[in-house]
Amino acid sequence: MKAFARLLDRLAFLSSRNAKLALLAAYFRETPDPDRGIALAALTGDLQLRTAKPKLIRDLVTERVDPELFGWSYDFVGDLAETAALIWPTGERNEAAVPGLAAAVDQLNRAHKDSAAKLVAEWLDVMDPAERWALLKLITGALRVGVSARLARTALADYGAVEVGAIEEVWHALTPPYAELFAWLDGRGPLPETRATPTFRPLMLANPLDEAELAKMQAADYRAEWKWDGIRVQLVAVRDAQGARVRRVYSRTGDDISTAFPDVVEALDFEAVLDGELLVVRDGQAAPFADLQQRLGRKRVSAKMLQSQPAHVRLYDMLFDGEEDLRALPLDARRGRLEHWYGAADRPRLDLSPLLDFESWEELADLRAGAREAGIEGLMLKRADSPYLAGRPKGPWFKWKRDPLLVDAVLMYAQRGHGKRSSFYSDYTFGCWRRREGRDELVPVGKAYFGFTDEELGQLDRWVRAHTTQRFGPVREVEQALVFEVAFDAVQRSTRHKSGIAMRFPRISRIRWDKPAAEADWLPTLEAMIEGARG
Amino acid sequence: MDAHSKAVQRWLKVTPAGLYCEAGDFHIDPARAVPRAVITHGHGDHARPGHGAVLATQETLAIMRTRYDGDDGRSSQALAYGETVRLGDVSVELRPAGHVLGSAQIVLAHGGKRVVVSGDYKRRRDPTCPPFEPVDCDVFITEATFGLPVFRHPPDDQEIDKLLASQRLFPERCHLVGVYGLGKAQRVIMLLREAGYTAPLFIHGALEKLCKLYGDFGVDLSELLPATAADKAELQGQIVLAPPGAANQSWARRLPDPVVGMASGWMGVRARARQRGAELPLIISDHADWDELTQTFADVAAPTIWVTHGREEALVHYARQQGHDAWALSVAGREDEDE
Ligand SMILES: [Zn+2]
Ligand SMILES: [Zn+2]
């Protein structure tokens, strides 16, 4: 645990990517199995660990520390796990009693629910503050040390002096603590075998389009299609070593979501790996995202749900045809293979994402401007000659989203941010006006992080502190006096929100210091923007 | 207010210029120029120029002369640790505070009461100055820079190890450590020496005079070289000490891809360390942490504690729980310690 704690402690402060890579590679070199593999899983988000709620930490600490001292401390530090790690009363640090990382994870996973808290408390007693912080961040599932899964795997590749692509390729077939992978990187074993196990292949992702770049791009070099507003999936249908069919639906990050979509799985009666968008489709029409949302995150789906919200995959690309890997082929060739394959049999619950006809960027811009119907987020531009590459390579693919929708909303609550911003009030809840029982009132319509310069963040932070009307833990209620211009991609009906609506991807685009709160927008303005609201 | 406080307040008062001892007609660490001052130590928020007469340790007087262009008051009197003088109706004694070279607690006795003005202090070992000596007293006046139980400074050697490990990890870069010029710079140098680091250390020009002064008082910092005179290649893999903030100035452009460190007690809290832009926060403090503060309350056995200079509320709360009479004392001229 000590080495892991030191690693996190340094990662949290290093800003340069190269420095992080060097630090991680050194950690992999100096740390034995299985600890290094567990640490890797923690960084890539692949660690299976029964997590604890922040309340558990709060309870453990307040049992041991004077509540007023704790309150002042938490207010100063701004982070619960960090406050707990620092304030925890200790006697002598007992290094021998501190469990290793893998041992700690293992014991926690095997512990009975009621004894887990006791176990954690015993460890905290013998740890130093850095170790306590690491343990608490780990069990609350909030490492936030500025390392993406991709960066962690790149460091692993540096450590083994191999291409990161080789690791990406086998990654999703492996599980922590990755002993065979490390054996291969250390030159003690073969590259882990992934064939014949259904394996998620890393997706190819697009970069946002900088419209100024269009002038330098030749329209003829690109293919365009709609960017469908569902969730990106990979369909994997293979046969295992015994010849039995294995069928999986993976999310964009490689999570197996097959059990939530038995209707799609049933349709995978072929051998191929396909890339597409999961949507709810009725009569060939994509439904708004809200319909799909009802089917996400469920362990089991009712027959009624299967009927009312039928799932469907709109195909973009073909990665494998049978056992043949198509990824090195140019996009046009893969598209040809996809169309041929699609036409060769009846393919229920699947269709092809159509290619759009355009000869100039102006034509395409017109198409994009006209696209306001449900299920479309914007356009995708893909170079016709692009091979299918893992990750988000610079250049070949672009997403060109619809222009955002805008409303003016009033700041209602502010909360301290995380990480670098933990000492600033940088998360904001804002509302729009509605008339209720003869009175005008604000109702919250969304929540967004701050997206401006440090200077503006400082101004807002000071404004929040100076206009606080009430405090609830880390949240401050403020005077209803400051207007934000909020940009968002879409708005949907929602039964979970008091306002009855939910914004998709809200962000604060401007602070309207000039605008009186009374002139902010009304809820009906937002309701009129709901997809499909206009007949 | 308790009886001790009432009795002492008749002759020791908080005024706009700072703490004023009426019975002896002198100020302690005044915020502006006064006729007679007793100074605990040489930091800028305690020792200011322009006083008439100054009483302090000879080290503190020397530091004042170095910082203020020869100004340690129109007349100055040096007092050694453990010596006593009478000023007016008050006996004044200086005892080590363990904060920086020359730092002293001021022990005042008058009218049957003994008061200790501790100034800034710490309890852990410091190779550059003698350790804090607890003095039994009726009223103990404590600083509260790190007066929250989340401030628990780790062992110094652990922090120095962090720096040396980073140096091994990035051998082609240089390590720029931000340190305050009085006390922190010399302490970090001595801790590195004690950890077996014998190579020359590079220092910013602003640190030179005080490092030399420490040497004159017998603190052997070993070989120091001016960072300004070195070229980029020479500084690869080296440790450079500079005042905090130097990292953001054009001065730092001469350094090869520096890892920016900062040695301060504030580094124990992540948000603070990030605000300072530290990539390598080193929790090394010249102020007592929570455990040292509370241990000191027990050691000086004072029935009454006055808390000033930092986060008073938590320490007052704690001291009262422990059965002391405790009061927050707000004295002018004290911001958050730049430490
Ligand atoms: Zn000081
Ligand atoms: Zn001070």
The overall average pLDDT reported for chain B is 94
Low-confidence winner among A3-7, A86-90, A403-407 (lowest mean pLDDT): A403-407
- Predicted confidence (pLDDT) at residue A374 exceeds the cutoff of 70: no
Mean pLDDT of A366-382: 81
Contact check, Cβ <8 Å, A73/B149 = yes
What tens digit of pLDDT does each residue of B233-246 get? 999 999 999 999 88
Please list every residue in chain B whose beta carbon sits closer than 8 Å to the beta carbon of residue A13: 273-274, 278-281
* Any domain includes B336: no
Task: Kindly state the DSSP code that residue A162 receives in the 8-state scheme.
Answer: S
ipTM rounded to 2 decimals: 0.95
CATH of the domain at B188: 3.40.50
Position A211 scores a pLDDT of 85
> What's the confidence (pLDDT) of residue B335?
53
> Are B293 and B269 in the same domain?
no
Choose the weakest-confidence range: A156-160, A521-525, A530-534. Answer: A530-534
Same domain, B270 and B303: no
Residues B173 and B220 in one domain: yes
Side-chain half-sphere CA neighbours of A139 within 13 A:
29
Do B72 and B55 belong together in one domain?
A: yes
Q: Is the pLDDT of residue A509 over 90?
A: no
Same domain, yes or no, for B298 and B259? no
Across A41-45, A438-442, B98-102, the highest mean pLDDT is recorded for B98-102
Distance between first and last Cα of chain B: 33
* Residues with Cβ within 8 Å of residue A395, at least 6 apart in sequence: A207, A383
Looking at the predicted structure, is the pLDDT value of residue B294 above 90?
A: yes
Last residue of a domain, one of B250, B265, B282: B282
In a domain? residue B337: no
Which of B282, B302, B318 is the last residue in one of the domains?
B282
| Phi and psi based region of residue A284 (left: phi greater than 0; alpha: psi -120 to 50; beta: remaining) | left
3-state secondary structure of B161: helix
For residue B23, being part of any structural domain is answered with yes
Structure tokens at A89: 């009363």
- Mean pLDDT value across residues A15-36: 95
| pLDDT greater at residue B274 or residue B298 | B298
| One domain for residues B272 and B211 | yes
**Mean pLDDT value across residues B286-291:** 97
> In the predicted model, what is the mean pLDDT of residues A312-324?
95
Q: Tell me, yes or no, whether B160 and B184 share the same domain.
A: yes
Q: Is residue B338 part of a domain?
A: no
**In the structure, what pLDDT confidence band is assigned to residue B269 with cuts at 50, 70 and 90?**
very high
Instruction: For residue A420, name the pLDDT band (cuts at 50, 70, 90).
Output: low
CA distance B302 to B105: 15
Which residue ranges form the domains of chain A, and what is each CATH number?
207-401 (3.30.470.30), 405-534 (2.40.50.140)
Where in the sequence is the domain holding B200, given as residue range(s)? Answer: 156-282
Name which residue leads in pLDDT, B29 or B335.
B29
Helix, strand, coil share (%) of chain B residues, nearest 5: 30, 25, 45
Can you give the pLDDT at residue A530? 81
Residue B68 sits in a domain of what CATH number? 3.60.15.10
- Classify residue B335: in a domain, yes or no: no
The count of structural domains within chain B is 2
Q: Is the pLDDT of residue A150 over 90?
A: no
Q: Tell whether B120 is covered by a domain.
A: yes
| 3-class SS of residue B151 | coil
> What residues contact B289, with CB distance under 8 A and at least 6 apart?
B122, B146, B151, B152, B153, B265
> Where does the pLDDT of residue B334 fall: very low under 50, low under 70, confident under 90, or very high at 90 and above?
low
- With an 8 Å Cβ cutoff, the interface of chain B facing chain A consists of 148-152, 154, 162, 166, 169-170, 259, 268-275, 278-281, 311, 313-314, 317-318, 321
Task: Give whole-number Cα distances, A318 to A227, A351, A356, A387, B10, in Å.
Answer: 17, 13, 18, 11, 89
Q: Name the range with the highest mean pLDDT among A39-48, A158-167, A238-247, B100-109.
A: B100-109
Let me know whether B146 and B164 are in one domain: no
Residue A220, pLDDT > 60, answer: yes
Phi and psi at B106, nearest 5°, equal -105, 120
Paired with A107 in beta bridges are none
Tell whether the model's pLDDT for residue B209 goes beyond 50: yes
B121 found inside a domain = yes
State whether B144 and B23 are in the same domain.
yes
Same domain, B131 and B179: no
Q: Is residue B210, in this structure, part of any structural domain at all?
A: yes
B129 and B181 housed in the same domain? no
Contact between A145 and A10 under an 8 Å Cβ cutoff? The reply is no
Q: Do A10 and B280 touch (CB under 8 A)?
A: yes
Whether residue B98 is found in the same domain as residue B132: yes
Interface of A with B (CB under 8 A): 6, 10, 12-15, 19, 22-23, 26, 65-66, 68-69, 72-73, 76-79, 82-83, 86-87, 128-129, 419-420, 422-423
Question: Which three-class secondary structure state does DSSP give residue A124?
Answer: helix
